[in-house]
Amino acid sequence: MSATHILAFSFGSPTSIFAPAGTPAHSVFNLSMLVLGITAGILLVVAGLLIYALLRYRHRSASTNSEQEPPQIYGSNQIELSWTVIPILIVVMLFLATARVIFSTEHAGKPSTAIDVVVIGHQFWWEYRYPKLDIITANELHVPVSNSRQPTPTYLTMSSADTDHSFWVPRLAGKMDLIPNRINTMWIDPESSGLYLGQCAQYCGTQHAKMLIRVYADDPAHFAAWIAHQQQPAVQNPAAAEGRAVFEHNACISCHTIAGTVATGRFGPDLTHVASRDTIGSGSIPNTPANLRSFVDDPAHFKPGALMPAMHLNAHDLDAVTKYLTTLQ
Partner 1 sequence: MATQAPITAVLDETAIPAPRRMALQVLHDWVMTVDHKKIGLMYIGYALLFLVVAGVEALLMRVQLAVPNNTFVSPQVFNRLFTMHGTTMVFFVGMPILFGFGNYLIPLMIGARDMAFPRLNAFSFWISAFGGLLLYFSFFGGSGLYGAGTAPDVGWFAYAPLTAKVFSPGHSTDYWTLSILLSGIGSVGVALNIVATVICMRCPGMKLSRLPLFVWLYLVTSMMVFVVVSPLTAAQIMLMLDRYVGSHFFDTQAGGSAILWMHFFWIFGHPEVYILILPAFAFANEIIPVFSRKAIFGYPAMVAATVAIGFISLSVWAHHMFTVGLGPGANTFFTLSTMLIAIPTGIKIFNWLATLWGGKIHFTVAMMFAVGFLFQFLIAGLTGIMLSVAPFDWQLGNSYFVVAHFHYVLVGAILFMLFSAFYYWYPKMTGRVLSEKLGKWHFWIFLIGFHLTFDFMHIPGLEGMPRRVYTYEADRGWMLWNLIVSSGAIFHAIGTLIFVYNMIWAFFRGHVAGPDPWDAWTLEWATSSPPATYNFATIPSVASRRPLWDIKHPEDPDSNYEM
- In this structure, which amino acid lies at residue 65? N
Which 46-65 positions form the footprint of partner 1 (CB under 8 A)?
Answer: 46-47, 49-50, 53-54, 57-59
Residue 307: CB minimum distance to partner 1, A: 11
- Of 43 and 225, which CB lies nearer to partner 1 in the complex structure? 43
- Of 167 and 324, which CB lies nearer to partner 1 in the complex structure? 167
Q: Is 72 in the site for partner 1 (CB under 8 A)?
A: yes
Q: Is 44 in the site for partner 1 (CB under 8 A)?
A: no
Q: Which of 8, 42, 225, 228 binds partner 1 (CB under 8 A)?
A: 42
CB under 8 A: which stretch of 40-48, 109-117, 134-142, 144-152 binds partner 1? 40-48
Q: Which of 199, 205, 183 is nearest to 141 (CA)?
A: 199
Residue 272: CB minimum distance to partner 1, A: 27
Q: Which of 305, 214, 157, 161 is nearest to 14 (CA)?
A: 214
Which 165-204 positions form the footprint of partner 1 (CB under 8 A)?
Answer: 166, 168, 170, 173-177, 179-182, 184-185, 197-204
CB under 8 A: which stretch of 112-120, 162-170, 216-224, 226-234 binds partner 1? 162-170
For residues 82 and 61, what is the distance between their CA atoms, to the nearest angstrom?
35
User: Which residues are paired to 84 by β-bridges?
Assistant: none
- 3-state SS assignment for residue 25: helix
For residues 29 and 6, what is the distance between their CA atoms, to the nearest angstrom?
11
Q: Is 290 in the site for partner 1 (CB under 8 A)?
A: no
Torsion of CA 44, 45, 51, 56, to 10 degrees: 150
- In this structure, which amino acid lies at residue 103? F
Q: What is the CA radius of gyration of the chain?
A: 27
- Of 55 and 315, which CB lies nearer to partner 1 in the complex structure? 55
Which 82-141 positions form the footprint of partner 1 (CB under 8 A)?
Answer: 83-84, 87-88, 91, 94-95, 98-99, 101-103, 105-107, 123
- Of 199 and 230, which CB lies nearer to partner 1 in the complex structure? 199
DSSP state string for 259-315: TTSS-B--SS---TTGGGSSEETTTTEE--HHHHHHHHH-GGGTSTT-SSPP----H
HSE-CB at 225 with a 13 A cutoff on CA atoms is 7
Q: Which of 305, 311, 327, 329 binds partner 1 (CB under 8 A)?
A: 305
- Of 162 and 248, which CB lies nearer to partner 1 in the complex structure? 162
Q: Which of 23, 284, 322, 326 binds partner 1 (CB under 8 A)?
A: 284
Q: Which of 264, 253, 254 is nearest to 321 (CA)?
A: 253
Mask 233-272, x = binds partner 1 (CB under 8 A)? Answer: ----------------------------------------
For residues 52 and 43, what is the distance between their CA atoms, to the nearest angstrom?
14
Q: Which of 212, 271, 296, 318 binds partner 1 (CB under 8 A)?
A: 212
